[in-house]
Amino acid sequence: MGRSDRRATAAGGEQERVGAHIRRFRNERGLTLRGLSAKSGLSIGFLSQVERGVSSIGLTALNSVANALDHPVAAFFDDDEPEPESGLPASPPHHFTLTRREDGATQYVSGQQTYRMLSERGPGLVLEPMLVHIAPGGRREEAYGHRGEEFAYVVRGELLYEVDGVEHRLFPGDSVHLRSDVPHRMFNDTGEVTTVVSVVTPRLF
């Protein structure tokens, strides 16, 4: 199996896992697909496809589902396996976190995008810094606005970033910073993976 095949298999597994969690959390709240559609703003047909693992869901749309179901986004990627006990965890400081490059970083896969967390969650910190790898192709999401701010800096490749209906092509070294309540979306229309440093607030995961 080649690298691209392994990547596709892993992404498919994440896609099915996210869909299964959406269905479970929805049922736990006693919501129908119609009810979840009304609360999240996403279509019934699309939500049905996501729950069945037929379609992937982007992070901004998943954030709407998470808010509707009152769960953090990270819960939809949980493999439900108990974490090994390692004694009492040390309480992190309130004013900073320190992440070494050799530390194992948490990663999430959502659709064509892989999010690598660049810092641990600090109790007094609100920014979410991530390294995002965006595979080519995939489903182009509808432009969407939500609370907060976001910043994206292209490290490698090219990225189409649409803000308020206007498309901007970003190259390595280019960046965009916006209020997230302005409708926006991004898409990789090239044949190579695009790598972006992204910082958002409030935290998604």
Summarised one tens digit per residue, pLDDT across range 182-196 is 999 999 999 999 999
pTM reported for the whole predicted model: 0.69
Nearest partner of 79 among 17, 27, 6, judged by Cα? 17
- Amino acid 57: pLDDT: 85
Q: How confident is the model at residue 83 (pLDDT cuts 50, 70, 90)?
A: very low
Contacts of residue 39, Cβ cutoff 8 Å, sequence gap at least 6 = 31, 68
Domains of the chain: 3-77 (1.10.260.40), 107-201 (2.60.120.10)
Q: How confident is the model at residue 95 (pLDDT cuts 50, 70, 90)?
A: confident
Give the C-alpha separation, 144 to 38, whole Å. Answer: 16
**Residue 102 pLDDT greater than 90, yes or no:** no
Any bridge partners for residue 169, and if so which? 160
Summarised one tens digit per residue, pLDDT across range 17-75 is 899 999 999 999 888 999 999 999 889 988 999 998 888 888 778 888 998 999 888 88
The token duo for 159 is 């990225």
Q: Name the amino acid, one letter, at 93.
A: P
